[in-house]
Amino acid sequence: MGLRFKIPLGAQWVGWIVFIGAIFTWFLWVDVSLWVHHNQPVYYHRSFVDLFSFPGHPVRSLAAMVMQGISGCWDGAVLMSLLMVAWGGAIFFIFRELRVKPWFSYLVVVSVVPIVSAHGKYHYAAELTFQYLFAAWFTALCLFFVRRWHGRCFGLIILVFSLLVYSFAGHPGLFLFVVLLSVWLVASHHIQRLVWMVLPLLLPYMITHLLPHLTIYEAYWGNYMVCVIDSFVDVPWSIKLYPLFLLVLVAVLLGFNTQERLKPIVELLVFVMLFVLVGWFSRSPKQKLSVRIDKLAYEKRWDELLKVVDQFGDVRSRDVQFQVNRALYHKGLLLEGLFYYPQYYGAGGLFLENETKGDIAMSASDLYFDMSFVSAARHWANEAFTDYGPRPRIVRRLIECYKLEGEPALVKKYESLLRLSPFSLLDDSPTYEQAQVGERSVLSSRNEVLRFHQFENQFVATNHPLTNLYYVVNSEPDHRMGVEYLVACHLLSGNLEELVKQLGRLKAVGYSRLPEAVQEAVLVYRQMNPGGAVDLCGFVVEKKVVERFKAFNALAAGGFRKDVASMKRFNGYKGGYLFYLTFYKPK
């Protein structure tokens, strides 16, 4: 009994197609456009001489240019799948003498796995994929000439291709070239020719004499092995050491003496299982969500942002919380909807800057730009520029800020930089006139900005956002965003004494009734300070809020713990301030 599958002719081809399909699906899930958003690859073309100023620069530039052009998940998945096919193809051509071996297909498949899986982390530098790919194809081409000329001029061919690989694909490419070639020489029983591998290994040293700005250390290890802060800092070690992985892989497979071939259907299942396992362990949904939320916030798709977070469920990420709060403000729901999301980070979910770090700099800049707080937005954008260099997103922000500040020479300079990109990066940025009539909450007119920043002896409180908020609301009392963030900040930090002093500000920005969370906070304050009077500035605490407050207290009087079971008992109070104070407020 039981079904008996009979794989049609060309079962291996079916296997390959399924495998490529799996890769495509994987990249579709990863969404390469998120990687592009997060890493902002960009190529600025200065001159062809500049292109060769550093070994590996041509391919890195090409990679940046290609990746820069990806705008959606589909084109990203197609491109990356093609690259992986090209990668497998290169391995196939390099070791084609070995294709009669039963494990050959495993070699091809397994060789792409680390690179494919590394893309599950959005910090991975795609430049390395391109550098390895170029190196692999150069190796295949090199071996084509070796085979064609039957090993004659072997040293010369090696030297020429080493030079090509090193110039175009840099030191990672060169190491892969050496490894692939060495493995091929061993596998094809030309061990005595391994001595020629000295040539590519000496090449970086020789290049340092041609390029005086290149140190020997850099020539062999490049930037990303040395520095702490660099675009390559987050490259997984599995990829940095990829050539060694390949060496071990081939060595292990060479060690198999079995001539028995697995049945194609089993082989196919092994491939798919292998891929599913690798994919499962290298996926990072939380990181993906974080990048996706950042992208949606950047594109100001607030509704979609909130929808995505709602769908994801319980999110414990300060970055995400920060963007959710921004989205709530832009939807006009900050004070009403604040506690419908678990504010695990308290006031830390409103601002990210308790210390100056590059990875929060652009988020901080975005927030202050929303507030028309141009000097702070520009300051943080400059901090981001220092850490991440001329990424288009950062440069565009600087252009916007300097336009508002009235620095035409600087605007021109940054625009000139963006014009060096083969892709136009300027068309969507607002012109000076657009900036002047932009939506108030997003972009104040220049005159307003100047009025806002009129005080001479005042400084941006770089790591004290509350000080900045007070500056905003004191200098512009009808600044809605400033007031709402200030009230939210006091609510989240539980500083009710300060909160009750700010109620009048809500009136100034057009509130006709106090948000319910604020009403609850007033009741809490009154309970904690029985003798203290609160000036409600004409607002009232509504009856239904008082009743709910009493009901909550009565329920709480029965005792509770900060666990899931207790939270369930208080489910009816979710979205309220008391629920936050009881279950979420950080110490």
Partner 1 sequence: MGQRFVVRVRCGAILCRLFCGMIMGGMGLYGCTPSLPKAQQVTRMALLEPVLHGIALPVNIAPLNFVIQEKGVDYRVAFRGKQGDAVVVSDADGIIRIPLKSWKNLLMKNRDDSVSVNVYVRDDSRGWLQFQTARFFVSSDSIDPYVVYRNIGSNNILWSAMSIEQQSLEDGSMTVIADNKLTRRNCMNCHSFNQNNPEQMLLHLRTPPGGTMVKQGDQLSFFNTQTQSTISAGTYPAWHPSGRFIAFSVNQIHQRFFLQTRKYEVVEDKMSDIVLLDIDTQSMLKSPVLSTDNRENLPSWSPDGKFLYYVLGNPYCESDYRENRYNLMRVAFDENTGLFGAPDTLLHAAAMGKSVSFPDVSPDGQWLLFCMADYGYFTVYNTESDIYLMNLRTRDYHRLDVNSVFVESYPTWSSNGKWLMFVSKRRDNMFSRPWFAHFREGVVSSPFVLPQKDPLFYETCLRNFNRPEFVTGKVNLMPSQVAQLASQKPLDCKVEAPIHVDGVSGASRVMP
C-alpha triplet 323, 324, 329: angle, nearest 5°: 95
Residue type at 292 in one-letter notation: R
Contacts made by residues 387-393, CB under 8 angstroms, sequence distance 24+: 387/229, 387/358, 387/359, 387/361, 388/40, 388/231, 388/358, 389/231, 390/42, 390/44, 390/417, 391/40, 391/42, 392/40, 392/42, 392/418, 392/421, 392/425, 393/40, 393/298, 393/362
User: Which of 120, 90, 146 has the alpha carbon at shortest distance from 25?
Assistant: 120
> Using CB under 8 A, which residues numbered 36 to 55 contact partner 1?
44-48
Q: Does residue 358 belong to the site contacting partner 1 (CB under 8 A)?
A: yes
Nearest-angstrom CA–CA distance, 79 and 70: 9
User: Which of 488, 494, 495, 462 has the alpha carbon at shortest distance from 473?
Assistant: 488
Smallest distance, partner 1 to C-beta of residue 232, A: 12
Smallest distance, partner 1 to C-beta of residue 452, A: 9
Smallest distance, partner 1 to C-beta of residue 230, A: 8
Which C-beta is closer to partner 1: that of 293 or that of 491?
293
Dihedral Cα 306, 310, 312, 315, nearest 10 deg = 80
State the DSSP code for 431: P
3-state SS record for 275-307: HHHHHHHHCCHHHHHHHHHHHHHHCCCHHHHHH
Smallest distance, partner 1 to C-beta of residue 346, A: 24
Q: What are phi and psi of 232, to 5 degrees?
A: -100, 5
> Using CB under 8 A, which residues numbered 489 to 528 contact partner 1?
none
Which C-beta is closer to partner 1: that of 393 or that of 585?
393
> Using CB under 8 A, which residues numbered 164 to 223 contact partner 1?
212-213, 215-218, 223
Nearest-angstrom CA–CA distance, 428 and 273: 45
Which C-beta is closer to partner 1: that of 382 or that of 582?
382
Which C-beta is closer to partner 1: that of 424 or that of 571?
424
What x/- string results for residues 386 through 415 when contact with partner 1 is judged by CB under 8 A?
Answer: xx-xx-------------xxxx-xx-xxx-
Extract the tokens encoding 203. Answer: 């090449």
Out of 153, 191, 420, 551, the only residue in the binding site for partner 1 (CB under 8 A) is: 420
CA atoms within 13 A on the CB side of 353: 26
Work out the number of other CB atoms within 10 angstroms of the CB of residue 47: 8
Q: Does residue 431 belong to the site contacting partner 1 (CB under 8 A)?
A: no
What x/- string results for residues 271 through 310 when contact with partner 1 is judged by CB under 8 A?
Answer: ---------------------------xxxx---------
Q: Does residue 427 belong to the site contacting partner 1 (CB under 8 A)?
A: yes
Which C-beta is closer to partner 1: that of 359 or that of 547?
359
Which C-beta is closer to partner 1: that of 474 or that of 553?
474
Q: Does residue 383 belong to the site contacting partner 1 (CB under 8 A)?
A: yes
Nearest-angstrom CA–CA distance, 65 and 392: 13
H or E, element range at 404? helix 392-405
What x/- string results for residues 126 through 165 when contact with partner 1 is judged by CB under 8 A?
Answer: ----------------------------------------
Binding segment (CB under 8 A) for partner 1, from list 6-14, 101-109, 378-386, 570-578: 378-386
**446 Cα distance to chain centroid:** 32
Smallest distance, partner 1 to C-beta of residue 271, A: 36
Q: Does residue 22 belong to the site contacting partner 1 (CB under 8 A)?
A: no
Question: Which residues are CB-neighbours of 272 under 8 A, at least 6 positions away?
Answer: 18, 19, 22
Smallest distance, partner 1 to C-beta of residue 504, A: 24
Q: Does residue 374 belong to the site contacting partner 1 (CB under 8 A)?
A: yes
Nearest-angstrom CA–CA distance, 96 and 564: 59
Which C-beta is closer to partner 1: that of 328 or that of 394?
394
Which C-beta is closer to partner 1: that of 40 or that of 519?
40
Which C-beta is closer to partner 1: that of 228 or that of 554?
228
Smallest distance, partner 1 to C-beta of residue 54, A: 12
Which C-beta is closer to partner 1: that of 11 or that of 65?
65
Nearest-angstrom CA–CA distance, 278 and 559: 47
For partner 1, the binding residues (CB under 8 A) are 44-48, 69, 71, 212-213, 215-218, 223, 226-229, 298-301, 356-358, 361, 374-376, 379, 382-383, 385-387, 389-390, 404-407, 409-410, 412-414, 416-417, 420, 422-425, 427-428, 449-450, 453-460, 462, 471
